[in-house]
Amino acid sequence: MRWTPGGRSADLEDRRGEGGGGGFRLGGGGLGIGGFIVLLLLSFIFKRNFFALVGAGGGPSGPSAATGTPPATSPQEERMIQFVSAMFDDVQNTWQQQLTASNVRYQHAKLDIFTDGVRTGCGNAQAAMGPFYCPVDQKVYIDLAFYNELKDRFGAPGEFAQAYVLAHEVGHHVQHELGIDSKVRQAQEQDPSSANQLSVRLELQADCFAGVWAHSVKQRSTDKSQIAIDDNDVEAALNAAAAVGDDHIQKQTTGGVNPETWTHGSSKQRAQWFRTGLDSGDASRCDTFAGS
């Protein structure tokens, strides 16, 4: 893909070097993104701080004061920061235009970059969890080292694969702005047995929303565009969506597949819903809650 460096986003918060108070722990190991989501859902459903039960501290709270200053940034790191800034701004500007056209006010999320661990509105988090969105403080959190893992562990290289990850997390913010996540929590409260399935549908919709943004970028891609992609970039994003499917990750980590424990959907589902948004460019086509 081609993009034009343009400095840091006004929505970027650089909290590298602060530390995160140890993050989520269970039995001496990292809790992981799946466990984090499950505990967050349980806390919402039962109105109880389930994070405290696994040593995650005081549950939802505001960011702590900085414990240090961000480390010196190399030219390569600064380029990566400018890359995520450019992608984050473009995703948000795209959604601001689309939602404004539908008479919906869009409030920008913040992008929080950190190293190792960070304190968030949803509790303490470790880099091992991967990127995530916290609806409490309306921030996307990412340790940029995740992109190395995306390439080396999951086999999904390429800058547009990295952009897809950010677009997916902003998709969760769009859900928050539209009130979709609150409706899902209400449904989970009414039927706790459906909590995991509804979580998967929420994640697949965020994939579809990421595809809606990718459609916008592709439509705007010219020689003079600040961001431009081609079919190879689209393929990289589709590969990334498939690489982080629950079945693929479970095969890598346990050698088996258990759909009942999925939190994000299978590789096929994730790639399919990203493609739905990409092909249509229409957020109304992203109703992952309809049908089986």
Domain ranges within the chain, ordered by starting residue: 2-285
Query: Above 50 in pLDDT, residue 58?
Result: no
pLDDT band for position 176 (50/70/90)?
very high
Rounded to the nearest angstrom, the gap between the alpha carbon of residue 290 and the centroid of all alpha carbons in its chain is: 22
- What is the residue type of 263? T
Query: Above 50 in pLDDT, residue 241?
Result: yes
Contacts of 246 (CB under 8 A, 6+ apart): 34, 259, 261, 262, 263, 264, 265, 266
Which pLDDT does position 140 carry in this prediction?
Answer: 97
Count the neighbouring beta carbons within 10 Å of the beta carbon of residue 183. 13
Which pLDDT does position 38 carry in this prediction?
Answer: 53
Question: Chain-wide mean pLDDT for the chain?
Answer: 82
Which pLDDT does position 207 carry in this prediction?
Answer: 95
Average pLDDT over residues 1-20: 88
The pTM assigned to this predicted structure is 0.81
Hey, which of 71-85, 135-149, 254-268 has the most confident mean pLDDT? 135-149
Q: For the segment 104-118, what is each residue's pLDDT rounded down to a tens digit?
A: 999 999 999 999 999
Q: Are 237 and 164 in contact (CB under 8 A)?
A: yes
Q: Where are the beta strands (DSSP E) in the chain?
A: 2-3, 12-14, 25-26, 29-30, 110-113, 117-120, 123-126, 132-134, 139-142, 227-228
